[in-house]
Amino acid sequence: MELTIEKLEEILLDHEERLISQFKTLLERPKSIRITQKVAYDIYGRTKVINWRSQGLLKAYKIGRTIEYEVAALDKLMENRQLIIKRK
């Protein structure tokens, strides 16, 4: 089998596309992953997390002494947050 530059470029491009696809899959956040309350406060804001939980929009999971939240639920709430204007 003779390997030409064109064939080598084709092989490398195909391999590169497969690697990119694999990296994208690995970089997507799994929807079942949970983070601790402290991390949730740091990422999404303490006030937001407390409000979502008190309104019943966010479910907390107690594992021993640790409280955890699902990342998918936090992401969804963050996307759906609305600006509330309070009247004086």
Cβ neighbour number for residue 48 with a 10 Å cutoff: 17
Question: Is pLDDT at 45 greater than 80 in this prediction?
Answer: yes
Question: Is pLDDT at 83 greater than 60 in this prediction?
Answer: no
Q: Is 34 helix (H, G, I), strand (E, B) or coil?
A: strand
Selection from 72, 78, 41 nearest residue 59 by Cα:
72
- Let me know: does 65 contact 40? Beta carbons within 8 Å: no
What DSSP assignment string belongs to 64-76?
TTEEEEEHHHHHH
Mean pLDDT to the nearest integer, 59-68: 94
What is the reported pLDDT for 48? 93
Selection from 78, 69, 72 nearest residue 37 by Cα:
69
Give the pLDDT band of residue 29 (cuts 50, 70, 90): low
Selected residue with higher pLDDT from 39 and 31: 39
Strand 61-63's sheet: what is its strand order? 34-36, 66-70, 61-63
Q: pLDDT above 70 covers what percent of the chain?
A: 82
